[in-house]
Amino acid sequence: MYHAPVMDGLTEVLLYRDPTRPLRVHANVPRTVAHNLPRGAKLHYDFGPEADPKKRLELALNVLTLFLPPGEDGEEAVRCRSNATSRTAFRLAEAFADEFLAPMEGTGATIAEDVLRAWIRIQAEAWPELERYPELPGPRWEPLDPSGRRPR
């Protein structure tokens, strides 16, 4: 079983569309967990309101697994179709996909590590007592410009 490493020096999650093939989404997140896509399906990430919800959820699960590897939350790991994730990452994947990835449009965006860690902490503390997740103040991501280049 492979556990996602916490990437040394990672300061943000970068998501962007390939300018030559706009249906292809790239991320600086390793694809370590597969759970929501059918067997044999190619694991492609996606974001935005028009994205396949299963591809969005797969991306969310991999992002959260990067920051919450199996066992790091003190709970038993959740076995996925491929590899495993932490129970907290598994619980929060849908909320993360809805809050961060579904509204994201355009060429892509960056999500700062501190924003992501704060969101995880707020959500994990609220689980399962709240039906609605508390809001994180401030911007959730920084959009990329239309050329696909990251802002400076």
The answer to whether position 86 is within a domain reads: yes
User: How many CB atoms lie under 10 A from the CB of residue 24?
Assistant: 13
Pairing of strands 108-112, 12-17: antiparallel
> Are 77 and 118 contacting, i.e. CB atoms less than 8 angstroms apart?
no
Would 60 be classed as within a structural domain? yes
31 in a structural domain: no
| Domain limits for position 78 | 56-132
Question: What are the structure tokens assigned to 140, written together?
Answer: 């959730």
**Residue 94 falls inside a structural domain:** yes
pLDDT value of position 94: 92
Counted domains in the chain: 1
pLDDT given at position 3: 36
* 12-17 vs 84-85, strand pairing mode: unpaired
Residue 74 in domain? yes
Report the predicted TM-score, pTM, of the whole model to 2 decimal places.
0.76
In a domain, 138, yes or no: no
Q: Is 41 inside any structural domain? A: no
Distance CA 108, CA 101 (A): 10
**Which tens digits make up the pLDDT trace of 45-99?**
778 888 888 888 889 999 999 988 898 888 888 888 778 888 889 999 999 999 9
Each residue's pLDDT tens digit, 124-146: 776 654 444 455 556 665 777 66
Which has the higher per-residue pLDDT, 110 or 81? Answer: 110
